[in-house]
Amino acid sequence: MRGTAKTIICAFALGAVAFVSASVRPALSADTLTVKAAVIRVDVEKPLPISRLDLPPDDLGFVGGKLATADNQTTGRFTGQEFETVDLAVGPDQAVAEVQRLVGEGVYYIVMAAEAETLLAVADAVGDSAVVVNAQAMDDRLRNDSCRSNILHVAPSRAMLTDALAQFLMWKKWREWALIHGSHPEDLLLADAYRRAAKKFGAKIVEERVFEDTGGARRTDSGHVLVQKQMPVFTQRMDDYDVLVAADEADVFAAYLPYQTWDPRPVAGSAGLRPTTFHPAHEAWGATQFQRRFEKESNRYARPLDYQVWLALRVLGEVVTRTNSYDPGTMKDYLLGPNFELAAFKGVKVTFRPWNGQLRQPVLLVGDKVLVSVSPQKEYLHKVSRLDTLGFDEPESTCVR
């Protein structure tokens, strides 16, 4: 009798599997839509980072893309789409030609990990024949006067990052800031973003200082000791402040500030408490499973660019699944419309701002080993989305798309 019962149960289970398999066959047997994407990482020569822990891996960005393509393919098996992704690391002089070649081969979704000028050159070259997704450049001008109608931004702007930190500092009632910024162009842009954030949220920058990069061997013992010994004297006799904010995108001095300032004050910005899109310590809202998959695939921790490339390709998967189209115009219209949303391990669905193509997303505030907070802070409200308290809101935007 037991054997008969087991036979019936097994038969029922096999029948259920057969029923499920039959139910998905129509989608699989339909004409498959092949979706080709590319991740183009434009490598430029830069000085070595201060810490060897920050040396960029050879596969930076590409692993995130591989995971996203696998995620898209899982859904595509049931919806009749096949996802393929090409990875290329090129120099700035090669980027436009490579992208034009790929578009000619039917690749209409281009994820760019590049600096602003290269990104704009690529977007202008391909025009309406492709959707270009910015996964790296943070320049605010790309979302304002230099915006392009065919660029979507999954990378946050500097304004989003600085606003995220400013909200937290104001919540902590650390209203008086000392701002130290570097001498490189990107440092000056970041300093401008912090000035804007301070004005926006009511902080006061009581003093500013510039740390001039005089070159030298930053990674040698003598270079390390020299800069580190400078910090107490460099920060001496500053007007009284609550928090020291560092603007050091060029990675010259900020890492030496914590524990070396003349006055006992917290450090934030480019060192200490930092705003970012992703961090190895982030485990909330299902991020642990992404972290584990990433580490299994790459044998390293995920970095912000890895996450941003993953997010850019998951955007592709979502729009193709919803529209069953790989036409650039159709994709862009849907992504900028009211129906697009995507889960991104951030606790809320992310969407695009239609006025400048920027992805709305929460910003993580992290220390070295822990997630400290997530902005927008709950005290900051908005009539459309609290995420629009980060970065340039629609009334502030100068983008004409």
Q: Which of 346, 361, 376 is the last residue of a domain?
A: 361
Using one digit for the tens of pLDDT, what is the confidence trace for 262-289? 999 999 999 999 999 999 999 999 999 9
Residue 40 burial (CB < 10 Å; 0-12/13-18/19+)? buried
Q: In CATH, what number is assigned to the domain containing residue 40? A: 3.40.50.2300
Per residue in 369-382, is it b (16+ CB within 10 Å) or e — as a string?
eebebbbbbeebee
Residues 233 and 245 in one domain: yes
Using one digit for the tens of pLDDT, what is the confidence trace for 71-112? 999 999 999 999 999 999 999 999 999 999 999 999 999 999
Which of 218, 238, 216 lies closest to 228, judged by CA?
Answer: 218
What mean pLDDT comes out for the span 236-242?
97
Residues 260 and 344 in one domain: no
Contact 271/246 with Cβ under 8 angstroms?
Answer: yes
Q: Percent of the chain beyond pLDDT 90?
A: 86
How many separate helices (H) and strands (E) can be counted in the chain? Answer: 10, 15
Q: Is the pLDDT of residue 25 over 50?
A: no
In a domain, 366, yes or no: no
Which of 179, 192, 177 lies closest to 139, judged by CA?
Answer: 192
Where helices occur in 235-326 by DSSP H, the ranges are 287-298, 304-323
DSSP state of 122: H
Instruction: Walk across the sheet containing 131-134 and list its strands.
Output: 81-90, 33-42, 109-113, 131-134, 151-153
In a domain, 147, yes or no: yes
Residues 170 and 116 in one domain: no
Residues 174 and 311 in one domain: no
Residues 165 and 256 in one domain: yes
Q: Is the pLDDT of residue 20 over 60?
A: no
Q: Which of 221, 256, 275 is the last residue of a domain?
A: 275
Residue 88 burial (CB < 10 Å; 0-12/13-18/19+)? middle
- Domain assignment of residue 147, given as a range: 33-156+279-361
In a domain, 18, yes or no: no
Per residue in 230-249, is it b (16+ CB within 10 Å) or e — as a string?
ebeebbeebeebbbbbbbbb
In a domain, 211, yes or no: yes
How many domains would you assign to the chain?
A: 2
DSSP state of 115: -
Residues 269 and 228 in one domain: yes
Of 23 and 94, more confident? 94
Residues 70 and 177 in one domain: no
In a domain, 13, yes or no: no
Residues 183 and 266 in one domain: yes
Q: Is the pLDDT of residue 223 over 70?
A: no
Residues 125 and 49 in one domain: yes
Which of 377, 180, 140, 167 lies closest to 271, judged by CA?
Answer: 180
Q: Which of 252, 275, 298 is the last residue of a domain?
A: 275
Residues 69 and 211 in one domain: no
Q: Is the pLDDT of residue 388 over 50?
A: yes
0.75 surpassed by pTM: yes
Contact 313/68 with Cβ under 8 angstroms?
Answer: yes
Strands 204-211 and 342-343: unpaired
In a domain, 229, yes or no: yes
Contact 231/257 with Cβ under 8 angstroms?
Answer: yes
Residues 175 and 271 in one domain: yes
Q: Is the pLDDT of residue 69 over 90?
A: yes
Strands (E), 62-146: 81-90, 109-113, 131-134
Using one digit for the tens of pLDDT, what is the confidence trace for 323-357? 999 999 999 999 999 999 999 999 999 999 999 99
In a domain, 11, yes or no: no
In a domain, 16, yes or no: no
Range of weakest confidence among 113-117, 217-221, 382-386: 217-221
Helix, strand, coil fractions of the chain, as percent rounded to 5 = 45, 20, 35
Contact 157/392 with Cβ under 8 angstroms?
Answer: yes
Residues 42 and 190 in one domain: no
